[in-house]
Chain A
Amino acid sequence: MSDRGSVAAEARTAGEPRHVDPEVGLLVGEAAQQRVPAERAEEGAPPYAVWDRSVAREERAAADTTYYDRPVIKEPVWIWTVPLYFHAGGAAGAAAVLGAVAQGVERRRLGRLVTRCRWMGAVGSALGSGLLISDLGRPERFLNMLRVFRPTSPMSVGSWLLAGVGALSGASAVLASSDGLLGRAGDAAAYGAGLLGMPLAGYTAVLISQTAVPAWQEARRSLPVVFMGSAMAAAASLLALAPLGPREEDAVRRFGMVGQIASLAGMLAVEREVSRIERVGAPLRRGPVAALWNAARAAEVAALLLSGFPGRSRPRRTAAALLGTAAALGLRFAVFLLGRASARDPRATFHQQRAGRGAAEVTGTAGVASPAGDGGEAATSAEG
């Protein structure tokens, strides 16, 4: 009886969206526990603009059909903390790698860099985990991420990588000033973090590519290069913000420049990949996503030039580091928003698949479904 009473109470506080009188009907269906806000307004606007145009009068070209221009796939529900995590997690992974290499090559003379990389790996992973948890629909269940290991899911692989790098970098950072057995354990942990940091720095590119989002799917070969380069640049820019020894600063500068060159080259490759289908590449050609993408590129070039020319005054180094950070962040957000825009456009999906870049690309069969006598390629040729 008390159980029933509490269910009834919850139904009332939830605005009774089921229109079930809890005194008469029991809430025991599969979705009886699905919560909705008491106030409709809390859910934001309706999922589409009602009455914004008369669909009935709209010209619908037979070769370019959509269902009232509604999206065919769902837009990713991720919030701004996710691209911010791409940045933080990427920097943590790249720092773990740089730290492990510095430790292997010249531990004695690069001691400060090694320690700082360990801390960056640890703090970056912790911060990144926090950002990811805040994006979850049920944050209190974040540990379910480590409930199974599923190799088909880059998010599952990444959760384990992040946990591994966080734990190993954290341990090595705490043990950085110890010597003897503890010191050696710290060194071993740092090597482990470096190894796991290699995929951690760029796996998020694979994660977003393994979606139905046309632009992310099309760019799956080049996005890992962009993300890896961006992670290197992000780590180097953050490391350059506080002074190190001259040799250490030089190593960081060189590492970051390679990353910036890689990410700039990767950006060109992404542009090529997504522009194979006119509609898939459209957000990168005009509009807010294109503006952010180009601004990030400009900042990256400027940062690269600032750190490339001879003479390294402190203000100049700081300017390069700040520009580099802004570029890396802008790039992650641009890629994120590109996917969102792409998911909203049903024609991006339709044209991609009609052009043989859906399942046909991997199955080798012309799987496009259509009525008999319907020109299967019409939609693509209609693009002009």
Chain B
Amino acid sequence: MIAMGAKGFFTDTTVCIGCKACEVACKEWNQLPDDGMFFTAMSYDNTVSLGASTWRHVAFIERPVPLGGQTTAHGISWLFMSDVCKHCQRAGCLENCPTGAIVRTEFGSVYVQPDVCNGCGYCIAGCPFGVIDRRAGDGRAWKCTLCYDRLRGGLEPACAKACPTDSIRFGDVDELRATARARLEQLHARGVTEAYLYGEDAARQPGTEGLNAFFLLVDRPEAYNLPPDPVVPTRKIAPAWLSLAAAALGMAAAAVGAVASSQERGHS
């Protein structure tokens, strides 16, 4: 394996136009099956969420307030965000996986090996972002692979390639961070003071120790269905193991006490 810096995405939501080219490119390249066709009445979002067969999802948020530094006749703003697996530095899915099916690749991405996964579902409950899922009929867990096959062939992921506004940028995470910070400064200078970066490093998002796919947002994370302070569940679990140890010792003590104090005389 070639040693190299982690690869990832910087998704700048301020230039996303909601065209869903990324969703389509992802489905096409990975030959993902469809999820059924229906309308949801959620703005223009009929995809709803990421899932086993949806590895990119564009969120549509219609707000009754304008964007900072903007003057529009009706005082509204329409936000879009192309969501994806975050390829967390500390990934809940990976740390929960009991079979070793989920691995960290040479690109720093988190990859589910479909030939190993036995569909236990523990990764699904372990992901703080609700990304990975199992599909009925298939039985295995699926999510974005960061286009592992394309990266091996020296190509960028299909979504980044298709994005017409460069809202989705692919590259070395270190370089993406610099790009993102420069873009943030530019936006602040233009009066979009609410712009901020989400999950760009361990300092900004200590619970996951940073995301390899991070975002520039202009509203609360909740508006985009992102958790405000996500944490890999493993980091919080030490007290549970301690409780378990105490309870197990208590059970052993109770067994000794019950056997030692038990009496021969029957009442029946």
Please report A residues at the B interface, Cβ cutoff 8 Å. Answer: 14, 17-20, 27-37, 40, 42-44, 46-48, 50-51, 54-56, 65-68, 70-74, 76-78, 94, 97-98, 101-102, 105-106, 110, 135-139, 141-142, 144-145, 147-148, 150, 152-156, 159, 198-199, 201-203, 205-213, 217, 220-225, 227-229, 231-232, 246-255, 258-259, 262, 310-314, 317, 343, 346, 349-350, 353-354, 356, 358-363, 365, 367-374, 379
A224 touches B243 (CB 8 A): yes
Chain A contacts for B135, CB-based, 8 A:
34, 36
**Could you tell me the dominant secondary structure of chain B's interface residues?**
loop
B171: Cβ under 8 A from any A Cβ: no
Chain B residue with the shortest CB-CB distance to A17: B33
Chain A residue with the shortest CB-CB distance to B231: A359
Select B244's contact among A66, A202, A358, A374, beta carbons within 8 Å. Answer: A202
Chain A residue with the shortest CB-CB distance to B256: A101
Chain B contacts for A223, CB-based, 8 A:
240, 243
Closest Cβ of chain B: how far from A21's Cβ, in Å? Answer: 13
Which B residues, 225 to 268, have Cβ-Cβ distances below 8 Å to chain A? 225-231, 233-237, 239-241, 243-244, 246-252, 254-268
Closest Cβ of chain B: how far from A382's Cβ, in Å? Answer: 12
Q: Which of B1-9, B11-19, B37-45, B161-169 contacts A (4 or more CB under 8 A)?
A: B37-45
Given contacts A155-B98, A220-B240, contact A70 B225 (CB under 8 A): yes
Chain B contacts for A139, CB-based, 8 A:
118
Closest Cβ of chain B: how far from A93's Cβ, in Å? Answer: 9
Q: Mark B125-165, 1 if CB is under 8 A from A, else 0.
A: 11111111111111111100101110000000000000000
Select B217's contact among A27, A247, A371, beta carbons within 8 Å. Answer: A371
A346 touches B225 (CB 8 A): yes
Task: Pick from A47, A228, A353, A367 the residue with the most CB of B within 10 Å.
Answer: A367
Closest Cβ of chain A: how far from B37's Cβ, in Å? Answer: 10
- 25 CB-based A-B contacts, threshold 8 Å: A29-B32, A30-B29, A36-B137, A36-B138, A55-B41, A67-B59, A72-B227, A73-B127, A97-B252, A110-B259, A138-B118, A141-B99, A152-B96, A210-B126, A220-B237, A224-B240, A232-B251, A251-B258, A254-B257, A312-B268, A362-B207, A368-B229, A369-B205, A369-B229, A372-B193
B254 touches A71 (CB 8 A): no
- Whole-angstrom CA separation of A252 from B266 in the bound complex: 13
B110: Cβ under 8 A from any A Cβ: no
Q: Mark B104-131, 1 if CB is under 8 A from A, else 0.
A: 0000000000101111111011111111
- Whole-angstrom CA separation of A251 from B263 in the bound complex: 8
Closest Cβ of chain A: how far from B248's Cβ, in Å? Answer: 4
- Whole-angstrom CA separation of A359 from B196 in the bound complex: 19
Q: Which of B46-54, B69-77, B174-182 contacts A (4 or more CB under 8 A)?
A: B46-54
A353 touches B227 (CB 8 A): yes
B137 touches A42 (CB 8 A): yes
Task: Pick from B135, B204, B231, B240 the residue with the most CB of A within 10 Å.
Answer: B240
Task: Pick from A36, A94, A314, A346 the residue with the most CB of B within 10 Å.
Answer: A36
Q: Can you list the 4 inter-chain pairs with the closest CB atoms, starting with the nearest?
A: A137-B119, A359-B207, A137-B139, A29-B31
Which B residues, 71 to 115, have Cβ-Cβ distances below 8 Å to chain A? 92, 95-101, 114
Chain A contacts for B128, CB-based, 8 A:
73, 212
Select B248's contact among A71, A136, A141, A199, beta carbons within 8 Å. Answer: A199
Which B residues, 199 to 234, have Cβ-Cβ distances below 8 Å to chain A? 199, 204-208, 217-231, 233-234
- Whole-angstrom CA separation of A72 from B49 in the bound complex: 9
- Whole-angstrom CA separation of A119 from B124 in the bound complex: 35
A350 touches B222 (CB 8 A): yes
A30 touches B265 (CB 8 A): no
Select A67's contact among B224, B247, B256, beta carbons within 8 Å. Answer: B224
B255 touches A255 (CB 8 A): yes
- Whole-angstrom CA separation of A252 from B258 in the bound complex: 7
- Whole-angstrom CA separation of A106 from B233 in the bound complex: 43
Chain A contacts for B246, CB-based, 8 A:
224-225
Closest Cβ of chain A: how far from B129's Cβ, in Å? Answer: 7
Chain B contacts for A37, CB-based, 8 A:
136-137
B140 touches A137 (CB 8 A): yes
Chain B residue with the shortest CB-CB distance to A316: B268
Chain A contacts for B249, CB-based, 8 A:
198
A67 touches B61 (CB 8 A): yes
Chain B contacts for A350, CB-based, 8 A:
222, 227-228
B194: Cβ under 8 A from any A Cβ: yes
Select A31's contact among B32, B235, B239, B255, beta carbons within 8 Å. Answer: B32
Chain B residue with the shortest CB-CB distance to A67: B225
Chain A contacts for B239, CB-based, 8 A:
220-221
A371 touches B34 (CB 8 A): no
A211 touches B126 (CB 8 A): yes
B244 touches A73 (CB 8 A): no
- Whole-angstrom CA separation of A97 from B193 in the bound complex: 62
Chain A residue with the shortest CB-CB distance to B229: A358
Closest Cβ of chain A: how far from B230's Cβ, in Å? Answer: 6
B195: Cβ under 8 A from any A Cβ: yes
Task: Pick from B128, B205, B260 the residue with the most CB of A within 10 Å.
Answer: B128
A152 touches B118 (CB 8 A): no
Chain A contacts for B95, CB-based, 8 A:
150, 152-153
Given contacts A98-B255, A212-B233, A254-B261, contact A145 B118 (CB under 8 A): yes
